Amino acid sequence: MKKENFIYKRILRPAFFSLDPEKAHDTAIIFLRALNAVPFKKKLISFFFKETKKELEIAGIKFKNPLGLAAGFDKNAEVYPVLALMGFGFIETGTITFKAQPGSPKPRLFRYPENMALVNKMGFNNCGAEKAAQNFRKNGKISVPLGISVGKNSDCPIEKAPENYAAAFEILASYGDFFSINVSCPNIQNLSLLHAQHYLEKIFSAYRKAAGEKPVFLKIAPDLNDEELKNVISVCAKYKAGLIASNTLPAEKAGYPQKGGLSGRPLSMLALNCLSRIRAISKDIPLISSGGIFSASDLKLRFEAGADLAQIYTAMIYEGPFTAQNILSGLK
């Protein structure tokens, strides 16, 4: 085992895992915030992390390499400049909603280490679009593409969702290199109804009005049937949008007693299957795979199944900050 992985697994992870999972995440964010404030952070971080250059162009964006950090880690766009120095080819911030909201009551994040899984019912806790825009202005651009995930406020009725997304797009449009539209978080009541064509049409046209031709991806649930996938893909084609497949799975569907969205290893086969079914329907839709990627062989399988890019989140929690670098160095 490499020295840095040994330090994470034997010292840092046990320390983090002795804390409540959300507390551990907040502690990591505090540390990353402090690092973000260091003027020579690039030099400092590049001492430990090497840049992985495997450049590719997808949806008109030049990515440094095909492995990104998924949404949900830097919900308020506070620390993405530091994360961008940790080997990722792109970073997705958010999910951000128009108005700030506290999210679900705590506890709302649960670890299942024996399964390398997490269950979360965070409920889009975030600082809101105006504050996030301030953070984007303060933190500025980074050396890899920056994505912004946008979601719906929990107290906004589903029929008003397109206006709610539109209000967030208008505030955030100039800050991202690309956007993702989240209609698939299982912890927001009725959100998944927005996979329906008439809602997507309205949300995408609001996006195009606010952000012009800027690339956009729709983040979908992992268990859509083929008919639902066909519908979603036809709307995406009309609005020149890509897909992120996929979000977390309602944990009860996988037999977990805890309510929330399941991520990590148990999502792997489902995410791979979803990806293959999308590629059977459309050969050319820009496609980011997300769900249960832990190793270079997991990543290779996604590319073989037709993914253009991939993202990780849960692997970072179990394997540590060098995960992207480790996975990418195993890609030959």
Ligand X SMILES: Cc1cc2nc3c(=O)[nH]c(=O)nc-3n(C[C@H](O)[C@H](O)[C@H](O)COP(=O)(O)O)c2cc1C
Positions that interact with ligand X (CB under 6 A):
70-72, 75, 94-95, 109, 118, 120, 122, 149, 182, 185, 219, 247-248, 263-264, 267, 290-293, 312-315
Judged by beta carbon, residue 64 or residue 152, the one nearer ligand X is: 152
Select the residue whose beta carbon is closest to ligand X and give its number: 72
DSSP string, 89-143: SEEEEEEE-SS-B--SPSP-EEEEGGGTEEEE-----B--HHHHHHHHHHH---S
- Centroid of chain to Cα 52: 20
Q: How far is the CB of 44 from ligand X (least distance, A)?
A: 27
Judged by beta carbon, residue 42 or residue 277, the one nearer ligand X is: 277
Q: How far is the CB of 277 from ligand X (least distance, A)?
A: 17
Q: How far is the CB of 207 from ligand X (least distance, A)?
A: 16
Give the Cβ contact number of residue 131 at 10 Å.
16
Judged by beta carbon, residue 26 or residue 38, the one nearer ligand X is: 26
From 122, 94, 118, select the one nearest 108 (Cα to Cα).
122
Q: How far is the CB of 168 from ligand X (least distance, A)?
A: 13
CA of 57: how far to CAs of 61, 71, 125, 303, 309, in Å?
5, 21, 32, 15, 10
Q: How far is the CB of 217 from ligand X (least distance, A)?
A: 10
Judged by beta carbon, residue 101 or residue 290, the one nearer ligand X is: 290
Judged by beta carbon, residue 46 or residue 107, the one nearer ligand X is: 107
